[in-house]
Amino acid sequence: MRVLVTGATGFVGLNLLHSMVKGKHDPVALVRAGSPTDRLPEGVETREGNILDPDGLRDAVGDADAVVHLAATVYPDRDMTRTNVEGTENLLAAAEKEGIERVVFTSTIGAHPAMETDPDSTYQTSKARAEELLFGSEHSFDCSVLYPTYILGPYDYRLTRYEHFQPVASNRVLVPPLYTYDEFNVVHVADVVGTIEHALSASEPEQRYPVTGENIGHLAFLRTVAASLTGSCRVVNVPYPLLRYVGAPLIDALHRRGVSPVGSEGFLERGDYGTVPEELAGEAPVERRSWQAAVADTAAWYRKVGLL
């Protein structure tokens, strides 16, 4: 089966292609004109095209039996909604006209029907609108959607996960405010790739695939990051109430007297990286890698490319 992959040069795309070149399907990478292809695995067929150019897209889709749609704008950009909604619309229209058998779309956990979409996240709302395009009307093709949580793994050329590794690698002792009280739900990119390949091959594919791990706290996550690095970093846990009722007022007082250049706002932030309700945790139609393996493989890649 010839499978056209959009977003082929992105994080999930590169991981998918590295896996597909060893598998039974023939991947074809859709790349924008002038976009460098030297990160793609050797020998992968490429087609030039852009999901925002419907005519060119039809030619590229016409040669394929299935489409994996990964192309999306993930980080703030004024064209995000256009790329993520209009681009998906164009691709589905081309798939319809060209008689494609199956479309696999990668969404995000926040756009899953069981989750509450964050109205302030342009990314989540753009993915939720793409959801309507996929499930709001009948299509001539089978349609599967993945909902991964926080993906970690190799080939992160945009360094989107480096922020978790760099502070740990750059400190022998890690105390707040060098980290904030975040919660995580980490999945290995190989599980996302495995789910895409499963969705391509399943005789009757499911429509919705959450790809999720267990919810974990910042301490477990950071200590695992520390263990994945060669340097020794001790992650010290300062209980949140201590920070909230003692640390923060102290820093604010110092800030008012001009001693501390910043106030306490940043210290008390609590971040959420993909956590899910209990009933959605630990899901994927493939044998799941541990989140610790995802952390270790990410660190190994950063080390390989010279950044750790």
Q: Which residue ranges make up the site for another protein (CB under 8 A)?
A: 36, 38-39, 157-160, 162-163, 166-167, 169-173, 178, 231, 261, 304-308
Written as six digits, the tokens of 65 are 């039996």
Residue 17's closest CA among 92, 88, 83, 70? 70
Residue with tokens 């690095």: 229
Instruction: Please state the closest distance from residue 128 (CB atom) to another protein, in A.
Output: 26
The CA distance from 283 to 217, in Å, is: 19
Nearer to another protein, 270 or 304 (CB): 304
The CA distance from 240 to 228, in Å, is: 25
Nearer to another protein, 202 or 248 (CB): 248
Instruction: Please state the closest distance from residue 66 (CB atom) to another protein, in A.
Output: 29
215 CA to centre of own chain: 16
Q: Is there a cis peptide before residue 76, judged by omega within 30 degrees of 0?
A: no
Nearer to another protein, 76 or 136 (CB): 76
DSSP state of 42: T
Q: Which helix (H) or strand (E) holds 14?
A: helix 11-20
Instruction: Please state the closest distance from residue 260 (CB atom) to another protein, in A.
Output: 10
Instruction: Please state the closest distance from residue 231 (CB atom) to another protein, in A.
Output: 7
Written as six digits, the tokens of 75 are 């980080």
The CA distance from 302 to 230, in Å, is: 12
**Partners of 143 in the β-ladder:** 103
Instruction: Please state the closest distance from residue 160 (CB atom) to another protein, in A.
Output: 8
Instruction: Please state the closest distance from residue 127 (CB atom) to another protein, in A.
Output: 21
Nearer to another protein, 40 or 85 (CB): 40
Instruction: Please state the closest distance from residue 6 (CB atom) to another protein, in A.
Output: 20
Nearer to another protein, 166 or 201 (CB): 166
Residue with tokens 């106030």: 263
Nearer to another protein, 115 or 307 (CB): 307
Contact in structure between 190 and 152 (CB atoms under 8 Å): no
Nearer to another protein, 39 or 82 (CB): 39
Instruction: Please state the closest distance from residue 183 (CB atom) to another protein, in A.
Output: 22
The CA distance from 205 to 234, in Å, is: 45
Residue with tokens 């964050």: 118
Nearer to another protein, 40 or 68 (CB): 40
Distances (CA, A) of 227 to 44, 45, 211, 224, 293: 35, 39, 25, 5, 11
